[in-house]
Amino acid sequence: MQAKRKEIDKGKIYISASFNNTLVTVTDLEGRTLVWGSSGSSGFKGTRKATPYAATTAVEKVLNKAKEDYNLKELEVYVKGPGVGRDAALRAIRSSGLRISLIADITPLPHNGPRPKKKRRV
């Protein structure tokens, strides 16, 4: 028999949506990972991992486990990346019944970009 884990009412969820997959991680407020999952771990392979439906399934699976194990009630949402799973994941969180206190986009943006090509000499 598995011991009941401690109750955590507030947590953070990180969604990393790339062009190939959607990764979902639920942490406590200090950043310790509680539950994680992805489109691939939800049973999707190949190009089907990059669909909005796969992202929705991954988020629902992870949130159900978090609610069951930790009795989670409120979330801060951090979204990262350009993938199609972004909006679908947010919709899945909204429909899960958990309270959302914050939605933040943490996609990294280059300040200066790569070095330019050498000047052409003729």
String of b and e for 19-49 (b: at least 16 CB within 10 Å)?
eebbbbbbbeeeeeebbbbbbbebebeeeeb
For residue 110, what pLDDT is reported?
A: 87
Rounded Cα distance between 5 and 65, Å, is 12
Tell me if the pTM is above 0.85: yes
For residue 3, what pLDDT is reported?
A: 54
Cβ pair 40, 55 in contact under 8 A: no
Banded model confidence at residue 61, pLDDT cuts 50, 70, 90: very high
The CATH H-level superfamily of 10-105 is: Ribosomal protein S11/S14 (3.30.420.80)
Rounded Cα distance between 101 and 40, Å, is 28
Most confidently predicted of 1-5, 25-29, 107-111: 25-29
Handedness of CA 50, 52, 57, 58 (dihedral sign): positive
Q: CB neighbours of 23 closer than 8 A, spacing ≥ 6?
A: 14, 15, 16, 17, 36, 37, 38
The structural domains of the chain, with segments of one domain joined by +, span: 10-105
